[in-house]
Amino acid sequence: MATTPNAIWIDNGGYATRITLPADPEQRVTVNRAITNSSGMEAVALGSRFTMWIDETGGMLGHHRRPDNDLATRLAHHYDVTGKIRGPVVITGPGLALLTDEGLVDVEYDLGANAFWGAS
């Protein structure tokens, strides 16, 4: 099993951390669902280099709406994706690809630069 970080998880509180997802795509979907507390995942392209995996229900958790994820929303807006992101998300490479070391650094740079993008 891989132990090198290959994705980034962003929670609702503005905390982002490197995580290690399984190499097997089916296992990766299972892990994504677990760490985002989602029954299904939707892929949102962030340019051509990254994918943001979000809850496919549009932010609903049962009968309750998930809290806004301001950091993920600002990151999405930076890549011209409109709308609010709700709930925790996972960032990977394009499509089903995992992040490389360079990709991890680039996403972290974009997350750190979010103060310059302005509030959503």
Question: Is the pLDDT reported for residue 65 higher than 90?
Answer: no
Q: Give the tens place of pLDDT for each residue, 2-23.
A: 579 999 999 988 889 999 999 9
pLDDT on residue 59: 65
Q: Give the tens place of pLDDT for each residue, 31-41.
A: 999 999 888 89
Question: Is the pLDDT reported for residue 70 higher than 90?
Answer: yes
Output b/e per residue, 60-71; b: 16+ Cβ within 10 A: eeeeeebeebbb
